Structure 1
Amino acid sequence: MAMDFIDRLQALAKKLEQVKETLATEEATKNALVMPFLHSVLGYDVFDPTEVIPEFTADTGTKKGEKVDYALMKDGEVQILIECKKYGEQLTSKHASQLFRYFSVTRARLAILTNGAQYEFYTDLDAPNKMDEKPFLTLDLEDIDEHAVPEVKKLTKSSFDVESVVGAAGELKYLNQIKKLLSEQFKDPEEDFVRFFASRVYSGVLTAKVKAQFLEITTKALKQFLNDSINERLKSAMGSDAPSKVAEMVEPEEAVQADSEELDTEKPKIVTTEEELEGYNVVKAILRQRVDVGRIAYRDTQSYFGVLLDDNNRKPLCRLRFNAKQKYLSIIKVDKSEERKPISSVDDIFSFSEDLLKTVDFYE
């Protein structure tokens, strides 16, 4: 029985897992992965030069002796140009330079840049006969995206439909960019993104303090929304007997008590304590060695008291976590992660002067 397209892709992905440690050169990558992709997945006869031309050279306009690794042919015309790199090498626009040059001197509408595991698909959306700088689609055999599969299937020999692929390319390109943006906002929402939600649900003035609260609330709401979606899908997959809480993807500490997060302008839930202000003064005393003390600001939230440079959420300096029995000073690292240092009194903050000064240096 003939294998389905997705099965053929998965078989190649399995092979990749088995052989990847041995792929030290571009030639090894071509033989072990790229030729099987062209032959077994896309269905071209790699030994028939009327279908696949290895080491393809165009007649005009290219540097002397320069070749593209493969050209896929149909009815005597070049349809797809393919450039290969060795497995493990990052694919960059520099690698695509030969494809760029060849694209304009052939009638190809599609080009593929690959390292055997990742396949980037390009066309000419931005200007006719000029290859775009960004791919409209990426297929990663180490992490197959189900949305990419039907688009790649259109390139198989049996259902080759270049017009359909190019037609869908514009939407795919922007769809993937928007998905990437959403993913970034879910991890670390920008001020405009937070303001969009805050302005819809909060009727008061969006002061700096309110915006800081909403940054935290929006981040938590996004995490909960993802959790709820996953729970719904798991519940429907497992049937009505599934437990009411199937998946808990966010850290318990960050989980939201649904109703208690609403902003209550009558009784603010955020209370800035004397001890937090005392800690803030100690942090200022340490940091004034490096920066003007007027640039150091604070924003208090329900879970921590944050100290910022230039009152900018993107420049956190440290966090005082004084709300529980065990107090912590959270040092902000270069990748914006936190390193929590347990302290027993405000004066203990002085012991971490070097760490705090290093954080300022990231931004200066």
Structure 2
Amino acid sequence: MEITQKIAGLASRVREQMDHIVNEEATKNAMVMPFIQSLGYDVFNPTEVMPEFTADVGLKKGEKVDYAIKNGGELSILVECKPRTTDLASAQFSQLYRYFNCTEAKFAILTNGIEYRFYSDLDDTNRLDKRPFFIFKLTEYNERDIDELKKFAKPVFDVDAILSTANRLKYTNLAKTAFAEVVKAPPRDFIKLLAQNFYEGRMTQQILDDFTPIVRDAMAQYIKEQVSQRLKSALETTAGEESVAGAIGGGEAIEKPDAADEKDDIVTTQEEIDGFNIVRAILASEVDPERIHMRDAKSYCAVLLDNNNRKPLCRLHFNSKSVWRVGFFYEGKETKHDIQSISDIFAHRQALIDTMNSYQE
């Protein structure tokens, strides 16, 4: 079973058990150990995964880190766990810091069972960085996150390969966070820099105040337009012009249920049609799109392989006005993910492919 499927299954189970995981021990047993196991490590082999790893660090005697993971007999990853409810952004990890400095491990993980923060010594050799170079959230991840996580799997673990991209990954993530803050609340200097390109008058405080909401709205509109264009291009490439026409209202891209099967109170919305066409577009390179069908219901819209209820690819939960969710399947269990826009379905491409392949097998 691939890491993608293991992580999806763990995420689904964690969502169900969340309210019962109330302390650090429960977090370790129900969340952290299965996570380590999903990477291919034997959590029941103390020569590979060592719980309560003890070492004397300077004047500190008998200190413990929750787990030490060995790969090929070499100490590779240290793991410090916090209770599920801990905010890792403000959590202390002094033990992890001291252990990292005196062992040969090149990576350290700080986790609350849901969020996994990966650290190394990119800034200063043999000193644990203050900022993680990679953050994986079990309840909110995309295909790119899975690709990064796979690098830590036992069969392919390569310190040099990970470090070669870790620095770029770290600053890319920091840049994304900074950009999100700029979009949310553009600083005055940024407003002034942009406004100078199209406003010729004197840049007074009042002018900056006037332009702040304008610039913020302009950035949001630009991002939305870029996402829409990407969606349209992807549909044209993988599903053909006919599918695109259906997605934008110019034609019928799906085969709707027979009138005899339809219920008066079931309405197939344009958003559900768009979502269905995106799933078709994603899987077009893997399977004949004609095998992918849509079957609408009151509470969700199902996308099925071979129009078979036993082969669900995903479910579109678009009936709520407050939040949209897409449900993906792993061993018959549905895992729901919140999405902000329909194009967010593209981020779950691998989950769709893995689900489809499980039916093919």
TM class by smaller structure: 0.5 to 0.7
What SS does the corresponding residue of 1:66 show, helix, strand or coil?
A: strand
Match of 2:9 in 1: 11
What CA distance in whole angstroms lies between the structure 1 residues aligned with 2:246 and 2:86? 47
TM-score (norm 2): 0.63
Which amino acid is 2:248 matched to?
P
Contact 2:55 2:61 (C-alpha < 8 Å) held by counterparts = no
What SS does the corresponding residue of 1:64 show, helix, strand or coil?
A: strand
Contact 2:56 2:62 (C-alpha < 8 Å) held by counterparts = no
Partner of residue 102 from structure 1, selected from 96, 99, 112: 99
- 1:72-111 equivalences under 5 Å are 72-92=69-89, 94-111=91-108
What CA distance in whole angstroms lies between the structure 2 residues aligned with 1:93 and 1:131? 16
What SS does the corresponding residue of 1:120 show, helix, strand or coil?
A: strand
**Shift of residue 92 of structure 1?**
4.5
What SS does the corresponding residue of 1:240 show, helix, strand or coil?
A: helix
Match of 1:339 in 2: none
The structure whose Rg is larger is: 1
Contact 1:121 1:136 (C-alpha < 8 Å) held by counterparts = yes
**Shift of residue 244 of structure 1?**
7.4
Contact 1:58 1:106 (C-alpha < 8 Å) held by counterparts = no
What CA distance in whole angstroms lies between the structure 1 residues aligned with 2:198 and 2:95? 52
What SS does the corresponding residue of 1:201 show, helix, strand or coil?
A: coil
Match of 2:248 in 1: 243
Deviations 1:183-228 (A, max 9, x none): 1111111111111211223333323333223212211101211221
Partner of residue 197 from structure 1, selected from 188, 194, 199: 194
What CA distance in whole angstroms lies between the structure 1 residues aligned with 2:73 and 2:246? 59
Q: RMSD of aligned C-alpha atoms?
A: 2.1
Deviations 1:285-343 (A, max 9, x none): xxxxxxxxxxxxxxxxxxxxxxxxxxxxxxxxxxxxxxxxxxxxxxxxxxxxxxxxxxx
Contact 2:67 2:80 (C-alpha < 8 Å) held by counterparts = yes
Partner of residue 207 from structure 2, selected from 210, 229, 234: 210
What CA distance in whole angstroms lies between the structure 2 residues aligned with 1:62 and 1:16? 39
What SS does the corresponding residue of 1:58 show, helix, strand or coil?
A: strand
Q: How many residues align?
A: 244
Contact 1:69 1:84 (C-alpha < 8 Å) held by counterparts = yes
**Shift of residue 21 of structure 1?**
0.9
Match of 2:35 in 1: 37
**Shift of residue 173 of structure 1?**
1.3
Partner of residue 114 from structure 1, selected from 111, 114, 124: 111
Structure 1: gaps spanning 5 or more residues: 248-364
- 1:138-149 equivalences under 5 Å are 138-149=135-146
Which amino acid is 2:159 matched to?
V
Range that drifts further, 135-144 or 163-172: 163-172
| Higher relative contact order, chain-length normalized (CA < 8 Å, sep 6+) | 2
What SS does the corresponding residue of 2:246 show, helix, strand or coil?
A: coil
Distance 1:201 1:146, change over 3 A: farther
What CA distance in whole angstroms lies between the structure 1 residues aligned with 2:24 and 2:196? 54
Which amino acid is 1:4 matched to?
E
Q: Are 1:168 and 2:176 counterparts?
A: no
What SS does the corresponding residue of 2:32 show, helix, strand or coil?
A: helix
TM-score (norm 1): 0.63
Distance 1:87 1:171, change over 3 A: same
Partner of residue 67 from structure 2, selected from 70, 75, 81: 70
Structure 2: gaps spanning 5 or more residues: 236-242, 251-269, 272-361
Partner of residue 220 from structure 1, selected from 217, 223, 228: 217
**Shift of residue 126 of structure 1?**
1.3
Distance 1:95 1:207, change over 3 A: closer
**Shift of residue 63 of structure 1?**
1.9
**Shift of residue 9 of structure 1?**
1.4
Match of 2:179 in 1: 182
- 1:47-58 equivalences under 5 Å are 47-58=44-55
What CA distance in whole angstroms lies between the structure 1 residues aligned with 2:51 and 2:90? 22
What CA distance in whole angstroms lies between the structure 2 residues aligned with 1:62 and 1:166? 31
Which amino acid is 1:53 matched to?
M
Identity rate, percent? 43
